[in-house]
Amino acid sequence: MPVAASAIYFLNLRGDVLINRLYRDDVGGNMVDAFRMHIMQTKELGTCPVRQIGGCSFFYMRISNVYIVIVVSSNANVACAFKFVVEAVTLFKSYFGGAFDEDAIRNNFVLIYELLDEIMDFGYPQNLSPEILKLYITQEGVRSPFSSKPADKPVPNATLQVTGAVGWRREGLAYKKNEVFLDIVESVNLLMSSKGSVLRCDVTGKILMKCFLSGMPDLKLGLNDKIGLEKESQLKSRPTKSGKTIELDDVTFHQCVNLTRFNSEKTVSFVPPDGEFELMKYRITEGVNLPFRVLPTIKELGRTRMEVNVKVKSVFGAKMFALGVVVKIPVPKQTAKTNFQVTSGRAKYNAAIDCLVWKIRKFPGQTEPTLSAEIELISTIAEKKSSTRPPIQMEFQVPMFTASGLRVRFLKVWEKSGYNTVEWVRYITKAGSYEIRC
């Protein structure tokens, strides 16, 4: 359920009402007195931002020296209410030159009332985009003398923007060179047993884009996801080509994506914002390609010696390589001395984190470097207790590799002027929580 706010109040730190707006008649005008008496005067402002008094709920947030209080009389979405407050403050700052405090409110009563009528209707949030609202609320706020932020220039063609067609992009953009940069960035999470069996594994990914395109282009992105390929084959009445397909879970899109077209055709179509933005996020739980396999062997030789042998195998292609590989191998706290032998990279003992830290700057694919270490321990009188060792941890980045197998099949750009575009696609896989028990 949306916010359905009955009233909104702006109070200073003393509890004086600076400005307020009643959206519904289901609460009285004296609700702010209950907020002062039961919350402000009892010094409970910092305990919980949501309080119930009588039959009403109070959602409040402090911004600078101002309290913004939303009063609701029904079961409302708290997260939506606080999201509305944050977006409203961002809007006010864009009009006031970056400042939002008691003085800014006192200097802009008329403008704030006009904005409050636009951003909320009968208690339900409306459009809070500064770029759109400035197209038809052109009044400039009284700017703070301490603000050096220049005033935003008005954007032409307000009708198209206000109707909600493409509120995230303005018209009239022009570039000498039209380019699109697309990055697929994935984080692979792994928990593997000491015997090499996978206990938990998933990939979280996002598609980042940076667009420098003239006019109002329409982009279409094709991926090798299973549902999209099956839908395409149905529309074209022909079987899908052989190749790996993946199943995307928990997909979320940027607001520019045409969801109606995605639901019907399973293609990602959108009019992109100008510059950099996050197009979509996703998660993969099956068919994960692990970039590394770690085979640890730890032997205890009596009470004062240990032997550690760790082999790390890169599973990706021989023409690829990983960067910034770090392997952290936990050792007992009573470690006194260590001796290393590594076939690649450098290793050292870090007493601050009780780990052997093995670093390989550039790790080629299809290789198996090893680390061998002899560890001398301080002899202790207390009996040794059997305890579970912390897992081995890895950090890495593998360019041009995706653990999920996700690939861009095509990226098409259409604009009525018919200009040529240059598309750039990159892939990178990073370590999330990559742990191997030993």
List the domains of the chain with CATH numbers. 7-134 (3.30.450.60), 179-286+405-436 (2.60.40.1170), 292-381+388-399 (2.60.40.1170)
Helices 78-96 and 109-119, axial angle in degrees (round to 10): 140
Predicted confidence (pLDDT) per residue in 125-148, tens digit: 888 888 778 877 877 777 655 544
Residues contacting residue 207 through CB under 8 Å, at least 6 positions apart: 182, 183, 184, 185, 221, 278, 279, 280, 281
Residue 159 backbone phi and psi in degrees, to 5: -60, -45
Residue 270 backbone phi and psi in degrees, to 5: -165, 155
Share of the chain above pLDDT 70, in %: 86
Share of the chain above pLDDT 90, in %: 43
Per-residue pLDDT averaged across 279-283, rounded?
A: 94
Predicted local distance difference test score (pLDDT) of residue 14? 83
In this predicted structure, which of 161-165, 227-231, 265-269, 394-398 has the lowest mean pLDDT?
161-165
Predicted confidence (pLDDT) per residue in 182-199, tens digit: 999 999 999 998 888 899
Predicted confidence (pLDDT) per residue in 84-126, tens digit: 899 999 998 888 888 888 888 888 888 888 898 888 888 888 8
Q: Kindly report the average pLDDT of the chain as a whole number.
A: 84
Task: Sheet containing 335-342: give its strands across.
Answer: 292-300, 305-314, 370-377, 335-342
Predicted local distance difference test score (pLDDT) of residue 434? 96
Per-residue pLDDT averaged across 238-243, rounded?
A: 48
Predicted local distance difference test score (pLDDT) of residue 231? 55
Residue 3 has pLDDT above 90, yes or no: no
- Given a contact cutoff of 8 angstroms between Cβ atoms, the answer to whether 186 and 396 are in contact is no
pTM metric for this prediction? 0.65
Distance, in Å, from the CA atom of 413 to the CA atom of 422, rounded to the nearest integer, reads 10
Predicted confidence (pLDDT) per residue in 208-225, tens digit: 999 999 999 999 999 988
40-48's contacts with Cβ under 8 Å and 24+ in sequence apart are 40/15, 41/15
Per-residue pLDDT averaged across 277-294, rounded?
A: 93
Predicted local distance difference test score (pLDDT) of residue 385? 54
Predicted confidence (pLDDT) per residue in 42-99, tens digit: 766 667 888 888 778 888 888 888 889 888 888 788 888 888 899 999 998 888 888 8
Distance, in Å, from the CA atom of 54 to the CA atom of 37, rounded to the nearest integer, reads 13
Residues contacting residue 423 through CB under 8 Å, at least 6 positions apart: 179, 180, 182, 411, 413
The residue among 229 and 171 whose pLDDT is bigger is 171
Distance, in Å, from the CA atom of 173 to the CA atom of 216, rounded to the nearest integer, reads 8
- HEC letters along the chain: CCCCCCEEEEEECCCCEEEEEECCCCCCCCHHHHHHHHHHCCCCCCCCCEEEECCEEEEEEEECCEEEEEEECCCCCHHHHHHHHHHHHHHHHHHHCCCCCHHHHHCCHHHHHHHHHHHEECCEECCCCHHHHHHHCCCCCCCCCCCCCCCCCCCCCHHHHHCCCCCCCCCCCCCCCCEEEEEEEEEEEEEECCCCCEEEEEEEEEEEEEEECCCCCEEEEEECEHHHHHHHHHHHCCCCCCCCCECCEEEEECCCECHHHHHHHCCEEECCCCEEEEEEEEEECCCCCCCEEEEEEEEECCCCEEEEEEEEEECCCCCCEEEEEEEEEECCCCEEEEEEEECCCEEEEECCCCEEEEEEEEEECCCCCEEEEEEEECCCCCCCCCCCCCCEEEEEEEECCCCCCCCEEEEEEECCCCCCCEEEEEEEEEEEEEEECC
Residue 20 has pLDDT above 50, yes or no: yes
Distance, in Å, from the CA atom of 73 to the CA atom of 298, rounded to the nearest integer, reads 63
Residues contacting residue 150 through CB under 8 Å, at least 6 positions apart: none
